Structure 1
Amino acid sequence: MSETASLPRIAIAGMGIESSTFSPHRAGDRDFLRLEGAALVNRYDALREGELADRAEWLPVYHARSIPGGAVLADTYASIKRRICDGLAEIVASGDGLDGLLLDIHGAMSVVGMDDAEGDLIAAIREVIGPDVVVSATMDLHGNVSRALVENVDLITCYRLAPHEDAWETRDRALRNLVTTLESGTAPHRAWVRVPILLPGEKTSTRVEPAKSLYARIPEVESRAGVVDAAIWIGYAWADEPRCHATVVVTGTDEAVTTAAAEELGRALWDVRDDFEFVGPPGTLDEAAERALSSATTPYLISDSGDNPGAGGTGDVTWTLAQLLQRPELTGPDSPVTLCASVFDKGAIDILRTHAVGDAVSVEAGARIDHGPHGPVRVEGVLHSLHEGDPDAGGIAVVRVGGLHVIITEHRKAYHDVSDFTSIGLDAQNAAIIVTKIGYLEPELYDIQRGWTLALTPGGVDQDLERLGHHRIQRPMFPFDAFDSDPDLTAEIVR
């Protein structure tokens, strides 16, 4: 008998992207980073560092992940789903059995022509592995938990922090829950509560109240006898699908305890619905620019929130850049150093590649995919630097227009970390102003900011949800509708 014969056999697979259905971007094959083999196993701290490595036989199948964007092309989704299902089918056909599956997903993936991509994915997986394999799903708290998804998993959890500083901790928790469940031989169920709230992440950050206290309740709930995991999904606001809403799921072995806990958390979320506010000081772009220019401390951060690639924006909306280029305070010879990230345009990069650093250049850039708020913008200045080989962006050019340093990339890239700027020779910490396509600030940028405005700009992830126009979400829904009485927050037990 082999040393692993008595250990549970656990597969690892998944597909993740956060997709705005209001974004004209379409995610294709190039957008996804693929992992399999040892690289997939070593993705997880608990497996790489040994905490769970010896408690199961780990069977990496396939994982594909993209930065947020628009809906996934149907052919791209089908090919990744097929690769996952074929890999699982090989394991099943081997005759050695399969006990568990870690399903590593985001939860807000949209696919062209489909309403519930993760529900479709897990249903296809179940057809291959059957009903007895224990599936543990790990998700973003901005994911959506549909009926099809919650029915087809056995364990389910999500992040408890926004920004997501606990992303890897959450994946490890899903792994631990799976291993512990298999070792104990228990059969957990899910107590599921649909909460009719749909809010943007920038209003539900756990840095501030009420989300801070709401999520702080989870450890105590999870510690109760009969509870395995407790989770609150804020949901994803920039998709117009029936499954888009807040959700509470408590997983456990005691039906009465999990039901009471799920209803308690669902009620707690509903009761604070009117208290959610923007995590950073909001304002128009003009207000943000004026605050930045008059700030006594630097760097001053401006979130170009409507086209945030980290939430599903295309990354090529030029509306903000066009406004900044019209400001002589930013484009004059003695203007403060302002970093503007970014707009992508392969054609513009190809033109800039024909120049040398230091050349005077004039190029049109952006609005090749999302040209709704503004068309392409002409950038006339000096080619400050040119870079190749970025794994996300490909080629990168920085064009200096007075103090304004305009970052143009070949492909989509989110500038959410200090290292994104330093990698192309830009000193973010000593810049006067940083304008970047982001919503709430990721930790590195949050730490260096000495002033911040969440600019309410247009794009595929516009903070003004009513301006976007949802038509297919389940109504009534807060804050779109008034409620004369409380909604039904009864937990439904799913086995």
Structure 2
Amino acid sequence: MRIAIAGFQHETNTFVSGLTDLPDFEQADSWPELLAGDAVVTGTQGMNLPIAGFAQACEEDVELCPILWCAAEPGGRVTDRAFDTIVSRITDALGQFGTVDAVYLDLHGAMVTQSHDDGEGEVLKRVRTAIGPDVPLVASLDMHANVSPTMVEIADLLTVFRTYPHIDMAETGARAYRHLRNMIAHGRPAKAWRQADFLIPLHAQHTGADPALSLYDQIAGFDHQNGQLAELALGFTAADVLDVGPSILAYAAAQSDADRVADEMLARLIAAKPEFDVTLMSADAAVSTAMAMDGDKPVVIADVQDNPGAGASSDTTGLLRALIQHRAGNAILGLIHDPELAQRAHALGRNARFQAYIGGRGPNDAPVKAKVRVHYLSDGRCPYTGAMYGGGIATLGPSAALEIEGTGIHVVITSVRNQCLDLAQFRHFNLHPERARILCVKSTAHFRADFAPIAQAILLAETPGQFPCALENVAYENARKMDTWPYQRSAK
């Protein structure tokens, strides 16, 4: 059996003005650089990636035909140049392979391009044109996918991550293979799709607590019942598109069973709506609360709206100012994207002292002026050790840990935007996060996988940033009309 595989991932924040272009997919960041041919398998082997899980699950009688795999750090709309170039490489290769028995795609589900609000729907449409109507086509999606009717119609089956932090990415790819194998043996399943009429901010979506924990336990309960499969995507709220928001997918041998499962899970999702905890604290309140705690473990404060893993700039200064103003002491903050400051630190060298202007390059913000000492320098190749990306390498570019003199506060500065989600991103800079009083991370929920075990408490701070979590402040223009909820305006 010959299965063609490819991956093309981007989580698009339409509230960011910049564009994501072809070089962004070609370079390494949190994930590897663009991989082609056999490197798709060898370059992701052992990593927590869907395509790696799919390849590992394949049985001996499967011949994989790898095409390419690429991902770019979340950001603004994908350019037509990048989109057309990458998708053409996939469809051209499918034409050259000759007959294949199936196609698997490792997609995200929240890609928006200059010309297509439904990026994945367009990818699937072009791939389907290339392979014809009879070849099975399956894909895996991120838990934050904004699933569209086009995606559901064209793909024979879609699997979705079930954890946030996403520690089950490889398992989601493996699940896609198992159901593809069943499809080839027994035929295409019937499918059903339902959308919820409300949005869930990402900081409330983490699966370590209810209601998301219970909802995904219920989803998993359908997996082995007569070939049924249920999936839940909670949506990516920074994409102002028609199909933003949560949705349910269900597959079964009979249409009546698929409809029943979808209806049942939608009812459970709607019933859970009031249980999602959307609480956010001001930066001042978060720092004051953390300083008042007496435990031996650090308090983690997440700067949820400046998460580069959701397209934000990762350089806002609200939380840093609060640390300094409250004289927090023994605190670490990261990762601030500031290539110019990182370059200056490298030019001056370790232990150098100088006047720095930290971050704050975006609108309605300003750099923090402070005297700093260069604590540590790095080329930015930082091996991950946590459950999310363990086995991979963070590419941070020339980077530095700076100590703000007289405060006990350390700040990690990078040249490449990268979400702070792994303790290694502090330890790599000769810092000791488990000994700190306060740890500040520019992340929304992924940090929980590695930071929660060493934390006495986790606080979520609402400081200005390009990734909106306080949805009552967001004016959606393209989203379908939804019911009003305490933190969700009615959309168009």
Whether TM exceeds 0.5 here: the answer is: yes
Q: 1:109 — aligned with what?
A: 111
Q: 1:71 — aligned with what?
A: 77
Shift of 1:47: 5.9
Aligned mates of 1:324, 1:56 — CA distance in 2: 55
Query: CA, structure 1 residues 351+407, in 2 after alignment: closer, same or farther (shift >3 Å)?
Result: same
SS, match of residue 11 in structure 2:
coil
Query: CA, structure 1 residues 436+423, in 2 after alignment: closer, same or farther (shift >3 Å)?
Result: same
Kindly provide the CA deviation profile for residues 88-130 of structure 1, in whole angstroms up to 9, marking residues without a partner as x: 22113xxxx1111111011112223431111111111112111
Q: 2:202 — aligned with what?
A: 201
Q: 1:28 — aligned with what?
A: 21
Aligned mates of 1:139, 1:53 — CA distance in 2: 22
Q: Is the aligned partner of 1:376 residue 2:382?
A: no
> Which structure 2 residues correspond to residues 72-87 of structure 1 after superposition, within 5 A?
72-87=78-93
CA RMSD of aligned residues (A): 2.0
Q: 1:414 — aligned with what?
A: 419
Q: Is the aligned partner of 1:13 residue 2:6?
A: yes
AA in 2 matched with 1:300: V
SS, match of residue 127 in structure 1:
helix
Q: 1:392 — aligned with what?
A: 395
Answer whether contact 2:204 2:276 (CA < 8 A) is retained.
Answer: yes
> Which structure's CA Rg is the greater one?
1
Answer whether contact 1:240 1:472 (CA < 8 A) is retained.
Answer: yes
Q: 1:361 — aligned with what?
A: 354
Answer whether contact 1:11 1:100 (CA < 8 A) is retained.
Answer: yes
Answer whether contact 1:25 1:314 (CA < 8 A) is retained.
Answer: no
AA in 2 matched with 1:393: L
> Which structure 2 residues correspond to residues 329-340 of structure 1 after superposition, within 5 A?
329-330=327-328, 336-340=329-333
> Which structure 2 residues correspond to residues 18-417 of structure 1 after superposition, within 5 A?
18-32=11-25, 33-42=33-42, 43=44, 44=51, 46=53, 49=56, 51-92=57-98, 97-182=99-184, 184-227=185-228, 229-278=229-278, 282-297=280-295, 298-327=297-326, 329-330=327-328, 336-368=329-361, 371-390=362-381, 391-401=394-404, 402-417=407-422
Kindly provide the CA deviation profile for residues 419-451 of structure 1, in whole angstroms up to 9, marking residues without a partner as x: 111112111111111111012233111111112
Q: 2:439 — aligned with what?
A: 434
Shift of 1:30: 3.8
Shift of 1:25: 4.3
Answer whether contact 1:317 1:373 (CA < 8 A) is retained.
Answer: no
Kindly provide the CA deviation profile for residues 171-216 of structure 1, in whole angstroms up to 9, marking residues without a partner as x: 110111112211x141223111122121112112221122221211
Query: CA, structure 1 residues 112+442, in 2 after alignment: closer, same or farther (shift >3 Å)?
Result: farther
AA in 1 matched with 2:400: A
- Structure 1: gaps of 5 or more residues: 1-7, 331-335, 484-495
Shift of 1:307: 0.5
SS, match of residue 156 in structure 1:
strand
Shift of 1:46: 5.0
Answer whether contact 1:24 1:314 (CA < 8 A) is retained.
Answer: no
Kindly provide the CA deviation profile for residues 28-64 of structure 1, in whole angstroms up to 9, marking residues without a partner as x: 3343221223332343555665x42413111101111
Aligned mates of 1:392, 1:46 — CA distance in 2: 22
Answer whether contact 1:18 1:311 (CA < 8 A) is retained.
Answer: yes
Query: CA, structure 1 residues 224+350, in 2 after alignment: closer, same or farther (shift >3 Å)?
Result: same
AA in 2 matched with 1:148: T
Answer whether contact 1:345 1:366 (CA < 8 A) is retained.
Answer: yes
SS, match of residue 221 in structure 1:
coil
Shift of 1:145: 0.9
Query: CA, structure 1 residues 179+223, in 2 after alignment: closer, same or farther (shift >3 Å)?
Result: closer
Q: 1:472 — aligned with what?
A: 478
Shift of 1:311: 2.3
More divergent stretch after superposition (36-45 vs 101-110): 36-45
Aligned mates of 1:87, 1:345 — CA distance in 2: 39
Aligned mates of 2:114, 2:367 — CA distance in 1: 26
Shift of 1:219: 2.8
Identity fraction in percent: 29
AA in 2 matched with 1:212: L
SS, match of residue 215 in structure 2:
helix
Q: 1:489 — aligned with what?
A: none
Shift of 1:316: 2.2
SS, match of residue 18 in structure 1:
coil
SS, match of residue 358 in structure 1:
coil
Aligned mates of 1:232, 1:47 — CA distance in 2: 19
- Structure 2: gaps of 5 or more residues: 26-32, 45-50, 382-393
SS, match of residue 104 in structure 2:
strand
AA in 2 matched with 1:312: G
Aligned mates of 1:187, 1:352 — CA distance in 2: 58
SS, match of residue 305 in structure 2:
helix
Taking structure 2 as the reference length, the TM-score comes to 0.88
Shift of 1:15: 0.8
Number of corresponding residues: 459
Query: CA, structure 1 residues 364+423, in 2 after alignment: closer, same or farther (shift >3 Å)?
Result: same
Aligned mates of 1:69, 1:427 — CA distance in 2: 30
Shift of 1:481: 5.3
Query: CA, structure 1 residues 28+45, in 2 after alignment: closer, same or farther (shift >3 Å)?
Result: closer
Aligned mates of 2:281, 2:255 — CA distance in 1: 47
Query: CA, structure 1 residues 41+109, in 2 after alignment: closer, same or farther (shift >3 Å)?
Result: same
Aligned mates of 1:432, 1:377 — CA distance in 2: 21
Aligned mates of 2:304, 2:437 — CA distance in 1: 19
Aligned mates of 1:25, 1:406 — CA distance in 2: 26
Aligned mates of 2:227, 2:346 — CA distance in 1: 62
More divergent stretch after superposition (61-70 vs 420-429): 61-70
Answer whether contact 1:315 1:343 (CA < 8 A) is retained.
Answer: yes
Answer whether contact 1:156 1:251 (CA < 8 A) is retained.
Answer: no
AA in 1 matched with 2:65: L
Kindly provide the CA deviation profile for residues 283-315 of structure 1, in whole angstroms up to 9, marking residues without a partner as x: 111111012222212211000111011222221
